[in-house]
Amino acid sequence: MEKPKINILMVDDRKENLQALEAVLDSPDYQLIKATSGEEALKWILKKDFAVILLDVQMPGIDGFETARLIRARKKSMEIPIIFITALTKTQDYVLNGYSSGAIDFLFKPFNPFILKSKVEGFVNIYLSQKELQLKNEVILKHSLELDQAYSHLQKSEAISRAIGETSIDAIFTLNEDGRILTSNPAAISIFGYQQEEFNHIADVIPLFSEKPFHPYIEDKSFEEEAKRQDGALFPVEITLSNAIIDQDTIYVCSIRDITERKNHFKQLERLVQQRTEELIISNNHLQTEIDEKLQMVQVTKESEAKYRHLVEDSPLAIFVLEANNEYFSFINNTGVKLLGGQSTMDVLSKKISSFFPLEQYVTMTSRIQDSYDGQKQIGIEEKFIQLDGGVINVEVTIIPFTYMGKPAVHIVANDITTFKRTQEFLGQSEKLAVVGELAAGIAHEIRNPLTSLRGFTQLIEFDQGVKHQYLSIMLTEIDRINTIVSELLLLAKPNDEDFNPVNMNELLKTVVVLMNAQATFHNIEINLHTKDPEPVIIIGLENKLKQIFINFIKNSIEAMPHGGKITIRTVKEEGNFLIEIEDQGCGIPPESLAKIGKPFFTTKEKGTGLGFMICNSIIESHKGKLGITSQVDVGTTITLSFPYDFQEKTLLSI
């Protein structure tokens, strides 16, 4: 253990004096603490214990004499030796004043370093001696206290032992090494029926010890054996043996407890335990039966819950749960996630419900949901949902009030009717085309006859009568225009099934490209045909009408590129369908016009009739095909056509 350092306090208002003192007294055994004023010195006195204090007299503030008096006034520090070091007068009154303030010694500047060091060492030795003496006194005092406590404890132990022996219900004997009974308590006399002087050997009351020595049993905490009363009666006892060494003699203590009543109670308890065990077994069997039945019910409930959850999760209808006063769905099934375009349930549950409805419909939907909270069931409502990618779909919604997790909520069931709506629109459009086709065929035939007469007589006026008038030229032009419209109307008429023949689509497209190349070159336009599969692709159809489709679309692309560009035609076979894609670099079609494309007499061209696209669509449908169009203003338009190429003529749909 490291030896503690001795604290020495040096007080002087001049740092150079403190440095001189430090140089003289420097030692690894000392901890030199410096203070530059009386106030600082007093603070150090409160913190540490010092062997000696070197104190300057003349200091600003509290001088050395006053500082010494304050140190002496404190009980803890009143015995610390104080050496005054001063450069002032050496008069007797001055020195006496210092001694009266509490100084032990005086040194006058300049002082002899050897004398200072010797005096400090002397006071340090006195300090260490005092500390050692104090420590010894503390040890002696501690031992004295321990002896007093031990003596008091011994007296108490003797009194307690005597009281325990006299009041204990157990028989207590003290034995010598041979087993002779030295003393016995009143309980021993009561239990065994002997008088105090009649007790002789421990074997008289414990027959076991007549056969075996009692010493080995000391190692056991306690054991049960039979004891014998004076009248020879045997009874069960619990024996505890211990020993103690007194004045180099071993004394044994034998404690004997009559456990006859305990044994009787134990036997009674065993009977009760056996009876209770039998009752518990019966009860346990009944309980086990109930548990098995309940477990079976729980299993059935879990299976029903799993089936219900499976039905809900995999239901073809989207299912949502919305709690009252909540802005987020609490539950959504897999169909609902797919309906809204999510990858996981959290994609939807983390979004506010307002993000899934257009603003006006959200207000209406909120009102309907609130009515459902009040108990009203909403059935078959058509709404629009906004998907996560911004797409809008049509749904049919049913709102049912119920309680979810103990809270009022609504059960929203949504069925995607987007495809149904589109089919309805498609059927409506098809019916319109059919009506227009039938009407057009009838009207066209009726109009063509008077048109022929009008044109003939107009020409007759011009040639026979020699009339040259600008009105005649305008009349002939307009009659030809009417004839063109009538010809286009006739194309809407139904073709006969017998007219359909095998058509090699690859060869047809090559023919169309060759046919349109001259017109395209004239407008500085390049037509490129990319066919992935060079083998013939045969579909059953009308070659001239199919050719008319492609000529019409390529012509539209040429007209959409007044400054030239490229038209790219790509073909590919995909899952039993032959896909043709016609892409141009034209001016494109605005979104508001794109939705109207295909309606009768709607056109974006200055001199268009609005029938071309409708006629092309009618021809495509008659060939069981599909038509798609995408366009971006100032980028271009892409027409996508799809024809099945593996069906037979008999499978063609009638127009």
Does the bond joining 81 to the residue before it have cis omega, within 30 degrees of 0?
no
Provide the H-helix boundaries in 26-169.
Answer: 38-47, 64-73, 92-101, 113-167
pLDDT surpassing 80 at residue 142: yes
Cβ proximity of 618 and 611 under 8 Å: no
Alpha helices by DSSP H, listed for 465-522, are 470-490, 505-522
CATH architecture for the domain at 501-644? 2-Layer Sandwich (3.30)
Instruction: Name residue 565's amino acid.
Output: G
Whether residue 393 has pLDDT greater than 90 = no
Q: Which residue has the higher pLDDT, 40 or 652?
A: 40
Span 614-634, average pLDDT: 86
Query: Does the pLDDT value for residue 604 go beyond 70?
Result: no
Most confident of 67-81, 298-312, 406-420, 494-508: 67-81
With bands split at pLDDT 50, 70 and 90, how would you rate the model's confidence at 163?
Answer: low
Summarize pLDDT for 322-370 with one digit per residue, the tens: 888 888 888 888 888 888 888 888 888 888 888 888 887 788 888 888 8
Mean pLDDT of the chain: 81
Q: What is the 3-state secondary structure (H, E, C) of 426-457?
A: HHHHHHHHHHHHHHHHHHHHHHHHHHHHHHHH
In this predicted structure, the answer to whether residue 171 has a pLDDT above a threshold of 70 is: yes
Give per-residue burial for 343-363: e unless 16+ CB within 10 Å, then b. eebeebeebebeebbeeeebe
- State the pLDDT at residue 192: 92
pLDDT at 654 over 50: no
pLDDT at 281 over 80: yes
Rounded mean pLDDT, 549-562: 89
> In this structure, which topology does domain 6-136 adopt according to CATH?
Rossmann fold (3.40.50)
Q: Exposed (0-12), middle (13-18) or buried (19+): which is 59, by Cβ within 10 Å? A: buried
Output Rg (C-alpha) for the chain, integer angstroms. Answer: 61
Is CATH 1.10.287.130 the classification given to domain 422-493? yes
Q: Is the pLDDT at 610 greater than 80, yes or no?
A: no
Mean pLDDT calculated for residue range 489-501? 59
Q: Report the pLDDT value the prediction gives residue 63, as an integer from 0 to 100.
A: 87
pLDDT at 120 over 50: yes
The answer to whether the beta carbons of residues 351 and 342 sit under 8 Å apart is no
Q: Read off the pLDDT of each residue in 551-575 and give the average, rounded to a whole number.
A: 90
Which has the minimum average pLDDT: 154-158, 399-403, 529-533?
A: 154-158
- 516: confidence class by pLDDT, cuts 50, 70, 90: confident
Lookup: tokens for 405: 């997790």
Is residue 480 pLDDT above 70, yes or no?
A: yes
Spans of all domains in the chain: 6-136, 168-298, 311-409, 422-493, 501-644
Give the pLDDT score at 308: 67
- What percentage of residues in the chain have a pLDDT greater than 90? 12
Closest CA to 433 of 294, 206, 614, 604: 614
Q: Sheet containing 392-404: give its strands across.
A: 331-332, 318-323, 407-416, 392-404, 378-386
Give 105's pLDDT tier (boundaries 50, 70, 90). confident
Share of the chain above pLDDT 70, in %: 84
Residue 21 parent element (H or E): helix 15-25
pLDDT of 567 over the 90 cut: yes
Kindly list the distances between the CA atom of residue 134 and the CA atoms of 75, 78, 127, 130, in Å, as whole numbers in the listed order. Answer: 16, 16, 10, 6
**650: confidence class by pLDDT, cuts 50, 70, 90:** very low
In the CATH hierarchy, which fold is given to the domain comprising 168-298?
Beta-Lactamase (3.30.450)
Domain 311-409 carries which CATH code? Answer: 3.30.450.20
Report pLDDT for 473. Answer: 73
Domains 168-298 and 311-409 belong to one CATH topology: yes
Write out pLDDT tens, residues 56-80: 888 888 888 888 888 888 888 888 8
pLDDT score, position 470: 64
Is residue 653 very low, low, confident or very high in pLDDT (cuts 50, 70, 90)? very low
User: What's the pLDDT at 637?
Assistant: 92
Is the Cβ–Cβ distance between 490 and 441 less than 8 Å?
Answer: yes
